[in-house]
Chains A and B, each alone.
Chain A
């Protein structure tokens, strides 16, 4: 845990400074997770604030230190899910404009290495977002937490409050759908070499 339980107890009693410390400790990690899940950097801060607002209003119900982080992750998952549900149309319209944007981006590249790297990163981000859009919002979040955030099945079990086998089945099915889409999008040419450049 990034904070002591004493600090959480102080925040539970209404200590704003203690709550600020909790937010400061977890903000970066939560914003990173949200960024990977929603794929819209401009909205990450807004969703992160929503997570901490929900934490503020539900902190009084917390009884033990062990459940704090899974709980915070659950709030993050729920806030991200709400965001994805609300912004579905916006994302769909953005995906429709993707090819045009890519063309503009490609034209704008003047050959500098930095710009090339940015273009590559953007290509990877857009590709993964497109792949993840083939599964439901719930599975998209689950898959991101497992594959991108690197959370273990034990951690996911605590966050989702379901047994490991159910999670495995769900992850497997979601992954199969993403794999199928990947083959359609990328074709026979391997992605591996290009991704190594991007990273």
Chain B
């Protein structure tokens, strides 16, 4: 990673650091694995698989319960709606029922007066 630094002091520091890293590499040989490396690794894999399976089962149960609850609620809502006149009426019917008393009677003669002669 020398960046073309022309300062001799900086270059000397860079060289010192490179040498220090090399010394570190030499002072830290690759460690040997113990005899239990493989057995311990497989034990941990099995433990993680079990916990994953457990979470999977719980998640599956929750999803199934949520679906069942949705179906039941849907059926309940549907049966309630069928028995209600309000939900079965059309928009015009509902509007008429709500404002029947306040609507003015229709006068055809007045409409004819509005038409151009």
Contact = CB atoms under 8 A, between A and B. Distances in A.
Given A131-B20, A172-B3, 7 more contacts: A20-B38, A148-B24, A172-B1, A192-B16, A195-B23, A199-B22, A199-B27
Contacts of A150: 25
B37 to A, nearest CB: 6
Interface residues of A, number: 48
Contact of A128 (B14, B24, B37, B44): B24
B30 interface: yes
Chain B contact residues: over half helix, strand or loop, or mixed?
A: helix
Nearest to A52: B41
B28 interface: yes
Chain A contact residues: over half helix, strand or loop, or mixed?
A: helix
A35 interface: yes
B31 A182 contact: no
Given A175-B1, A199-B26, A53 B18 contact: no
B76 interface: no
A94 interface: no
Contact of B41 (A23, A35, A192): A23
A168 B48 CA distance: 38
Contact of A127 (B20, B40, B41, B42): B20
A11 interface: no
B55 interface: no
A23 B39 CA distance: 12
